[in-house]
Each structure stands twice: as C-alpha cells, then as structure tokens.
Amino acid sequence: MRDFQTTPPNLHEAEPIPEAAREAIDALLSSGDLFRYTAPADAPVALLEREFAQMMGTKYALAVSSCSAALFLSLKSLSLPEKAKVLIPAFTFAAVPSAVVHAGMTPVLVDVGMNYRIDLADFERKISDADAVLISHMRGHTSDMDAILTLAEAHNLPVIEDAAHSLGTLWKDRKIGTMGHVGCFSFQSYKMINAGEGGIMITDDPDLAARAIIMSGAYEHNWQKHDIAYEKASQWQNKLPLYNLRMQNLSACVIRPQLAELPRRVRDGLENHDHVADRLTESGYFNVPAPLPSETRAPDSIQFNLIDFSEAEARAFLSFAKENGVPAQVFGLGTDNARAFWNWEFIEGDTPNLPQTRAMLAQACDVRLPVRLKREELDFVASALIDAAIMVKG
C-alpha cells in the first residue's frame, strides 16, 4: 500500500495539447487567417481533412463544427424521402435524435440490451418500416456490425455510423466509422481528440461528399479547395441550401498534432479500462459487459451494471462514491439526463415502450477514465467505487 493514492484524481482534467500546436497557432494569430477558405490551398482545415481521410483509409473527409453537425449533414446528403424514418439506438446522447429532428426526419428508437448494444430482434422488427439506419456506438460500445450491415443491405438502406466516441475502435480489422456509408466523429473535449468543439465526417461516396461539402458552407466556388472531383461538387452549386457548419483553422491546428497521439491514447485507454473492469468484476458488486468478440475497444470511460441494487441502494451508492471522491452517474436516475430516452420530449408522439433500455438505464453506471490516468489513480477510482458498494450492501 506504499504507493496508495490518497487524493481523488480529477476525472475531467484533459491531457495537454501537444506542443507542436503552438507554432501553427502562433502563425495563425500573426496572419489572422482563421477562415478555412481564405488561403488558396492547404489551409489547416484542408490539411486536417486530407490527414484524417488518410489515417482512416477513406476517400473523403469533411471537417465541421461538431459531430452533431456531421450527423445532420450526413442525413441531409443521403437523398432520403421527406420525413424519413431513421432507426437509432434508444441508448445514445440527446444530440443524435436532435440531429434527426433537425434534418426534418423521424427518429425511431431501437431497444438496447444490458450490454449497451442494439437488440437485434427489435432492430429486425423495426427495419422493414425504416428509410435509414443511424448507429450510435454509444460510449464506444459497438453493436454487431455484421448483423446490422447485412440487414440494412437486405432492405437497401443506408447506414450512418455515429462514431463520435469510437475513434480508434476496431471491428475485426476494420476501423469503426468506415463500415457504413458515412462515419461521423467528434472533437469535443470528452472524446479521444480534444479541440473543445469540432467534428468530421468520412465517406467513400463522392456524391454524398460533394453534397455535404456544399451544405456545410462551401459557397460560390469554395468547393474547389476540397480534395474532391470538381464536377461532383459543381453539379450541386446553388442547388442546395448552405447551413454554414464549417470548422475554423484554429480548431484544425489543435487537432492535427493530436492525430499522432491516437494510437497511444487508444492503447492506454483500453489498458486502463480493463484494469478497472477487472477490479470491479472481482468485487462481485458489478457486472462489466464484455466487448463483442469482433470488437477491439478504445474507451476513455467505463460503464458497468450494479448487481441487485434497489433504486434506493443505487442512489446511496452514488452518494458514497461521490463522498469517496469519484463522481459517477446512473444514466436513468439523474434528473433530465440527456442519455435517458424519456427525456427526449422534442420527439413527436408518445414515449416509446423500450423495456430493455429502461431496465439497463436503471442499473448502468458511468465513470470517466481519462486516458492520462496513472495506475495509482485508477486503483483509487476502483477502490472508491468498491468501498461505496460495501457501504451500501455490506
């Protein structure tokens, strides 16, 4: 116990931005050239798009203001029918059904199991009446992509991957976010790459990319500054509305040097997660759902289910954990939690009946584990949670 950490780690403290960002930002501050379309070529945002597409092995990348903007533009770029029905998992962040509503479409919620992944029976029931599929890999948990892509293909439906929180995750040897027609990622501060805000979408479909580029705000002939076949974007000139969801150069300068850090962050994040998961599992109070066999995760947080806790016990557990220095949430117990589907009152119609998701949200606990945490800090987190459970259950 010599190295035992006695003060709680700050679970919201980010890793410093790599030093290399400083020079690029200084140059921008001197020139004042913050807008992506001022420079004739090779603006930082354009370089980021090129590097991100290369890293992911896709043809096109479009950097935008958030992952929500990327999801919105993806939906808008797919040529879906008016009021299209879009399947989304019932366990996701409120921004996801919001993007569907914003695009003038209808979110249809699919039940999610105790392992945080889409219930395939419910998915199969609902897909025959759907127009598109938007898979949120919530907290980086991957649903069965083989089954989902097979069913979507059988119904001839496009698949959007919300990989906001899945950068670095693999499905067999394929990168999550490259398996659907389009993949969307977030650079918000709590994701693997931190720019405060930001997002990017990737696709191999030149027409989808061209439409998204125009709608993101490439007005007049600014589409010429994208690495994309000119004739594709020129076809859409003046034909599509401009939503102005562009990324600015400062964000790209913060993001670009972090791309090289990704393999280390993914490796540390997984190792940290698995260490805490092992300790929580051993305690007997918690169930940490295993990844699917095809999945290699890239977590920066941990989710686990309380075993046989009543609601009162779950609430007591959360307050003891907080007293012990570790803020945790049970998704379904908070007031106005943005990840509890019954709070998405902006969706038209009655709250759907989703018994499995409801049961999961009542037991599923969420704790941030920033990848920079050291072993002693991880042990502090695990011990604080286990002690809190002992205080409740004896």
The residues of the shown chain that bind ligand PLP, judged by CB under 6 A, are 66-68, 92-93, 95-96, 136, 138, 162, 164-165, 186, 188, 199
Q: Which two tokens stand for residue 2?
A: 């010599």
Question: Taking Cα atoms as reference points, which of 80, 98, 96, 198 lies closest to residue 137?
Answer: 96
Q: Shortest Cβ distance from residue 2 to ligand PLP (Å)?
A: 38
Q: Cβ 321 to ligand PLP, closest distance in Å?
A: 22
Count the Cβ atoms, other than its own, within 10 Å of residue 244.
13
Please report how close the Cβ of residue 41 comes to ligand PLP at its closest, in angstroms: 27
**Nearest residue (CB) to ligand PLP, 165 versus 279:** 165
Closer Cβ to ligand PLP, 66 or 357, answer by number: 66
Helices (H), the chain: 20-31, 44-56, 67-77, 95-102, 120-127, 145-154, 206-217, 230-236, 249-259, 262-283, 311-323, 355-363, 375-393
Question: Quick one: DSSP state of residue 112?
Answer: B
Nearer to ligand PLP, 67 or 382 (CB): 67
Q: Which is nearer to ligand PLP, 45 or 388 (CB)?
A: 45
53 vs 100, beta carbon nearer ligand PLP: 100
CB of 267 to ligand PLP, least distance (A): 21
**373 torsion bin: left (phi>0), alpha (psi -120 to 50), beta (else):** beta
Q: Between 279 and 339, name the residue whose CB sits nearer to ligand PLP.
A: 339
For residue 224, the 8-state DSSP code is: G
Considering the complex, what minimum distance in angstroms separates the CB of residue 327 from ligand PLP? 18
Least Å distance between CB 324 and ligand PLP?
26
Contact between 256 and 48 under an 8 Å Cβ cutoff? The reply is yes
Taking the C-alpha atoms of residue 289 and residue 117, their distance in angstroms, rounded to an integer, is 10
Rounded Cα–Cα distance for residues 358 and 387 (Å)? 27
